[in-house]
Chain A
């Protein structure tokens, strides 16, 4: 049976990490120098074992393991990345229509000296935060907030950076009644039409329409272990085999990894993650994402507003694989 959660999958690593932390505490308290030396060598041994374990574990991540890692709770979320890569960020919360959706955050920011507008899906870590953020599942208000922020960026000639990390858009009755589909469709259309550079980056879970709703970019990046899918693998397995527990097989079939997206020509670059995943060294991951975003913004800064729009049009216009009969 494949692991169902990141915690389950990384269990041995987490135990080893816990063990090392305990040994460290013991070593710090140990007065006897010989005993302390022995503890320290034990720590070194375990650390080597841990490094090796992470090395092997992460060098052969399959699609399903990537799904688990992309969903891992300690993985940096949008606000973590914004805090790490932007020197200033003023969050603006209104959609000017109905309400504030905490599942999408955004606002003007300064990124490596450049004024931009940055936005993204936001998940929560503990139970209260998860509920407050609706598990990162945005409602129509979230997409309409994104639309107004992007239109504002367009008015002031500011590049737009969008960070994608959502299991899906909110499927509830209130979202349906306030037009979740229209909100997503309109957000996509708005992004296509912007006259400023747009860069989208999948930082964790790129969940279907909910993700692409803010995912249209002149450049699209994906973190090394992020996933992007038209349907959650469990849902796909439920439809295919009526067995949601076969999510691992569905994940493989859906080709939802950054590496597959690259092969299919759907993204521009893969953002490398630190050894053991972005959650092991969030600062390193942020630096890596920052570098790639900066590179994209530099490359796009030479294009005129019309060229930016045309580049985006051609990019999405060409996506798809088909044949001709006869």
Chain B
């Protein structure tokens, strides 16, 4: 890890150790730098309570897609992860929660078969164990290299949401930078509660797609969490420093019935 980091918000050079004390929020301008899945878990849940599950799932190359295997290997090398989702059980103020966290550093957090499977399992786990489900999203969308299989992860992950609804367990999604396309158009957008970090990118079509489709002038805050919030598609924008407490309160209140039984 580099000792210094240049802030993406204000350009100031920050000490890495200092930045990590605020979980990568710039002390000068408040810019929220991306967290890895492991950092996110450490920043959010009760210390030492995270138990990883389904860590053995690995992406294969079902279509024989150009350069996919190489990209997977490079991503694994870079992140130490087997795919873009880290999931398992953890506790929040002592209450058990089923969590899945997306890591943007692994192929842009893209959702292929493994991510879809881990997400749906974590949602099902919440329904079975009668606890809250928490999904941290950070993804460019569906994983192109798995073609139609990736597209089918949209209904697949939503099937997990259906299970949570049937079981009456709360499901909370947190949009972190970026939450886009196929992920936004599936499980992310149908959570009981949707929170977002400030200035996270949140949108359906990537800039390239919009441009190709001839979308002209866009508002300054287009595809930012603030834009989606203004239009009613995000419930609250929560600074990273307050996220843990907001999540804990939501889990406790919405999950009152599950945790009482």
Tell whether A31 is near chain B: CB-to-CB under 8 Å. no
Residue of A nearest to B114 (CB): A322
- For B, the interface residue count at a CB cutoff of 8 angstroms equals 62
Report yes or no: A185 in contact with B186, Cβ–Cβ below 8 A. Answer: yes
Report yes or no: B148 in contact with A171, Cβ–Cβ below 8 A. Answer: no
Residues of chain B within 8 A of A323, CB atoms compared:
57-60
Q: How far is the CA of A189 from the CA of B203 in the complex (A)?
A: 19
Option from A168, A182, A264 in Cβ contact (under 8 Å) with B148: A264
Q: How far is the CA of A321 from the CA of B67 in the complex (A)?
A: 18
Q: How far is the CA of A326 from the CA of B203 in the complex (A)?
A: 37
Q: How far is the CA of A326 from the CA of B82 in the complex (A)?
A: 12
Report yes or no: A175 in contact with B204, Cβ–Cβ below 8 A. Answer: yes
Task: Write the nearest CB–CB distance from B96 to chain A, whole angstroms.
Answer: 23
Q: How far is the CA of A325 from the CA of B151 in the complex (A)?
A: 24
Known A213-B185, A320-B117: A228·B151 in contact at CB below 8 Å: yes
Task: Write the nearest CB–CB distance from A19 to chain B, whole angstroms.
Answer: 37
Q: How far is the CA of A193 from the CA of B151 in the complex (A)?
A: 19
Residues of chain A within 8 A of B185, CB atoms compared:
169, 180-181, 184-185, 209, 213
From 180 to 229 in chain B, residues with beta carbon under 8 angstroms from any chain A beta carbon are 181-182, 184-190, 203-205, 208-210, 212-213, 215, 218-219, 222-223, 227-228
- Overall SS of chain B's interface: helix
Task: Write the nearest CB–CB distance from A178 to chain B, whole angstroms.
Answer: 7
Report yes or no: A181 in contact with B156, Cβ–Cβ below 8 A. Answer: no
From 203 to 261 in chain B, residues with beta carbon under 8 angstroms from any chain A beta carbon are 203-205, 208-210, 212-213, 215, 218-219, 222-223, 227-228, 231-233
Contact with B along A311-326 (1 / 0, CB 8 A): 0110011011111111
Report yes or no: A185 in contact with B156, Cβ–Cβ below 8 A. Answer: no
Residues of chain B within 8 A of A179, CB atoms compared:
189, 228, 231-233
Task: Write the nearest CB–CB distance from A255 to chain B, whole angstroms.
Answer: 5
Q: How far is the CA of A212 from the CA of B159 in the complex (A)?
A: 14
Report yes or no: A255 in contact with B212, Cβ–Cβ below 8 A. Answer: no
Residues of chain A within 8 A of B151, CB atoms compared:
208-209, 212, 228-230
Task: Write the nearest CB–CB distance from A191 to chain B, whole angstroms.
Answer: 8
From 203 to 234 in chain A, residues with beta carbon under 8 angstroms from any chain B beta carbon are 208-209, 212-213, 215-216, 228-231, 234
Q: How far is the CA of A178 from the CA of B120 in the complex (A)?
A: 27
Task: Write the nearest CB–CB distance from A31 to chain B, whole angstroms.
Answer: 55
Report yes or no: A319 in contact with B204, Cβ–Cβ below 8 A. Answer: no
Option from B182, B205, B213 in Cβ contact (under 8 Å) with A230: B182
Report yes or no: B215 in contact with A171, Cβ–Cβ below 8 A. Answer: yes
Residue of A nearest to B55 (CB): A325
Tell whether B4 is near chain A: CB-to-CB under 8 Å. no
Report yes or no: A182 in contact with B233, Cβ–Cβ below 8 A. Answer: yes
Known A188-B154, A193-B162, A324-B58: A182·B189 in contact at CB below 8 Å: yes
Tell whether B126 is near chain A: CB-to-CB under 8 Å. no
Task: Write the nearest CB–CB distance from A251 to chain B, whole angstroms.
Answer: 10
Known A180-B204, A255-B147, A313-B159: A212·B152 in contact at CB below 8 Å: yes
Tell whether B48 is near chain A: CB-to-CB under 8 Å. no
Task: Write the nearest CB–CB distance from A165 to chain B, whole angstroms.
Answer: 16
Residue of B nearest to A316 (CB): B155
- Overall SS of chain A's interface: helix
Residues of chain B within 8 A of A176, CB atoms compared:
203-205, 222-223, 227
Report yes or no: B159 in contact with A320, Cβ–Cβ below 8 A. Answer: no
Option from B60, B63, B65, B213 in Cβ contact (under 8 Å) with A322: B60
Report yes or no: B152 in contact with A192, Cβ–Cβ below 8 A. Answer: no
Residues of chain A within 8 A of B204, CB atoms compared:
169, 171, 175-176, 180-181, 209
Q: How far is the CA of A189 from the CA of B192 in the complex (A)?
A: 13
Option from A172, A238, A321 in Cβ contact (under 8 Å) with B113: A321
Report yes or no: B56 in contact with A325, Cβ–Cβ below 8 A. Answer: yes
Option from A172, A175, A212, A236 in Cβ contact (under 8 Å) with B155: A212
Option from B182, B208, B215, B219 in Cβ contact (under 8 Å) with A172: B215
9 closest residue pairs by CB, A with B: A320-B113, A171-B205, A185-B189, A321-B62, A181-B184, A319-B152, A230-B151, A181-B185, A182-B189
What would 11 more interface pairs be, CB under 8 Å, given A189-B158, A208-B142?
A172-B215, A185-B188, A185-B190, A212-B152, A230-B147, A254-B144, A266-B148, A316-B158, A317-B120, A323-B57, A325-B57
- What would be 18 A-B contacts, judged by CB atoms less than 8 Å apart? A168-B205, A172-B215, A179-B231, A181-B185, A181-B189, A188-B158, A189-B161, A189-B190, A230-B182, A253-B66, A253-B147, A264-B148, A316-B158, A319-B149, A320-B117, A321-B60, A322-B57, A325-B82
